Amino acid sequence: MRDFREALQEQIIVGDGAMGTYLYQLGYPVGISYEALNVSEPDMIRDIHQRYVAAGARLLETNTFTANREKLSKHGLEDKVKDINRAAVRLAREAAQNRAYVVGALGSIRAGKRENIHTDQVKLDYMEQLSSLLDEGVDGIMFETFYDLEEMRLALHIVRSLDKQVPIICQFAVEETHRTKDGVSLLDAFNILREDGADVVGLNCRMGPNGLLRAMESVQGQIALPMSAFPNAGLPDYVDGRYNFVATAEYMAESAVHFAQMGARLIGGCCGTTPEHIQTIAAALQDIDVPELPLMTESDAAAGNVDRLEIQQYPYNIEETVGGDRTASSIVETVRTRHTVIVELDPPRDLDITKFMKGAEALQKAGADAITLADNSLAVTRMSNMALGYLVLDKLGMRPLVHIACRDRNLIGTQSHMMGLYALGIDHVLAVTGDPARFGDLPDSSSVYDLTSFEIIRMIKQLNTGLAFSGKPLKQRATFVVGAAFNPNVKHLDKAITRLERKIEAGADYIMTQPVYDAALIERIAEGTKHLNVPVFIGIMPLASGRNAEYLHNEVPGIQLSDEVRSRMKGLEGEAGRREGVAIAKELLDVAVNHFKGIYFMTPFMFYEMTAELTQYVWEKAERKTDPLFRLT
C-alpha cells in the first residue's frame, strides 16, 4: 500500500464505522469491556473488521478506544493493557490483508468520572498504551473523542517522543460552540496541533453529520492539513429497551460528499455507524473530485502562536532512546526488552551546576536511558538531587532516578520529600540506607534512620496504594518505581542474595549493585540472581587513577577491587589512568552484557566523558545504533 501521508494528499480515504455500538447491536451488553474481547473473543473482533473492509473501508481503527490502564481498571484488567492492545493490532492486520491501513485508536483518559486524575498518571497511561500499539507496528495513531486541547497536546507530545515518523490523527468531540471544552476555538486548536506535529485534524462523535458539517464550516479553507470527519449516525433513540441510531446509510453518504468538498480526506463513522453505512459512503466517494488543501498563511501561524501562549506547555517528555527503540513507561519495562543504561552523575558540592548539566547532556547524547543522582553519598553535602533531577527532566527531557537515603529525613520529612518528587513528575527512586553522617563533611550532624532500607521501600510502595505513611488516604495513588541497592562484594554472596530477596518482598521493583571489578564475580552474581523476578542493573564504575583505585578498595564501604585491577592501575594518573580505567570497564562489559540487560555506570569525579564512552560501548556490544536522542520543545 502507498504511504499513508502521501495517500492523504491525493485521495479521500474511507474509514471504518463504530465498534462499541456495533457490538452492542450484536448482543454484547453495555458495561462490559469491549476491548477485552480482543483477547477473549478474537474471532468476533476480526470478523467485524473484515466486514468493514468488505464494505469499502480502507482504514481500520484498532479496538482500543478505552484500552488504557485507567479505564481497564474498572474491569479488573489493568494488568492486561499490553496484551489487549497488541492483540487488537494483530486482529486488525489480519482483517486488513494489506487492503486497509491500521491505526491505533485512543480515547481521552480524563473524560468521564475521572477528569481530575493526576497528569503524571495520565502520562504513564498514554505511554503504556501507545508503546504497545507502536511496538505492534500500526500505520498511524488516532486520538478520538477528545474534549480538551490540553489533553490532546499531552497525548500528541508523548507519541511524538516515542516515534517521530508515525502519522497522527487528532479528532475532537465538540458541541454547538465549536470550541474545545477548555475554551479554545477549533481554528486555533487545529493550528496548534499542526505546529505540534499532527498530520490530520478533525471531528468525531457527540454529533451527527449536520453538527459536524456546521463545525467544519467554521474552519473551512483555513486549515493547511487534511481533515477527518467521523460523525455519529444521528442521535440514539431508545425503543423497546434498546438504543438505535436513526441516520440512514444514504443520509450519511450525502453528508460524506459534503465533508469531502469541505476538505476532509479521511471520512468514516462513529457511534451507530455500521458496515452498511460505510458501504454506501464508500460508493458515494468513489468518483468525487478531491479539492486542493489550502496553503498555510501567515495568519494561520499567527493564530496558532497567539493561542499557544495561553495554553499549558508540557516540558516532561519521555525521550526516544538510541537506535529507535521506544522507551517503555518505566525503566523496569524497558530493561525487560533490551539493554538499558543508567548513569550516575553526582550533584555538585557548590552552587555551580554548569558542569553537571553539560555532563547530563553529553550522557543523553550518548544514549543513556536515565540519569541517577545520589542523596549526599558518603554523607558529603551536595546539592539537592530533587532539584537537579527536575532540571534534568525539565531542560533535557531525560528520566531522573533519584536516591532516597534513610539517614537524612525522619518519617515526616521522607513522606514530604516523596510527595514533592511525585508533584514534580519524578517517579523513579532508589532506596538506600545512607552512610552515617559522622563519616561525612558535617560529622556533628545527626543520622536520623527512622526507617531501614526495607521499611522505606515498603512505605514508598504504600504511597502507590493511595495511603500515607500514617495510613490515611491521599485522594490519589502515587506511581513510584522503587529500586533497591545490592552489595555483591562480600565473602558470602548467598547471604547477600538472601537479604536482597527480603528487599524484593518489601516491594523493590529493580536492583542496582555496587560497582564490580571482577568478571568472575559478575558471572557469579548472574547465576545467583537468575531466580529473581526483578531486573538487576550491574554496577560498573571506571577507575580514574591508581590513587582512585586504592581509595575505593581501602576506604569506601561496599567496593572491592581485584588484585589484577589494582595492579593494572598502579601508578597511573591523569589521562593515562582514565584511559586504562575505561579499558578495564570495557573488559567487564564484555562479560556483563551477556548476563545482564541492565547496566549501571557511576561517573568518577565528573569525568562524564568516560561514562559516555562506556554507554556507547554498550550499544556497540548490543549491536544497536547510537543516534542522538530527540526531545520535544
| Residues flagged as binding site for Zn(2+) | 205, 270-271
Cα separation of 484 and 493, whole Å? 16
Asked whether the beta carbons of 231 and 270 are under 8 A apart, the reply is: yes
Q: Give the containing element (helix H, strand E) for 484.
A: strand 481-486
**Residue 499, helix vs strand vs coil:** helix
Q: Which residues are annotated as a binding site?
A: 205, 270-271
DSSP structural state of residue 473: B
Cβ within 8 Å of residue 604, ≥6 positions away: 541, 542, 543, 544, 548, 581, 610
Burial tier of 301 (Cβ tally within 10 Å: 0-12, 13-18, 19+)? middle
Cβ within 8 Å of residue 330, ≥6 positions away: 124, 427, 428, 481, 509
Cα separation of 138 and 89, whole Å? 7
Cβ within 8 Å of residue 183, ≥6 positions away: none
**Residue 507, helix vs strand vs coil:** coil
Asked whether the beta carbons of 64 and 134 are under 8 A apart, the reply is: no
Cα separation of 151 and 119, whole Å? 9
Cα separation of 384 and 376, whole Å? 8
Burial tier of 571 (Cβ tally within 10 Å: 0-12, 13-18, 19+)? exposed
Distance (Å) of CA 530 to CA 164, 460, 534: 36, 26, 9
Number of Cα atoms under 13 Å in the Cβ half of residue 87: 19
Identify the sign of the CA torsion 181, 186, 187, 189: positive
Cα 67-68-71 angle, rounded to 5 deg: 90
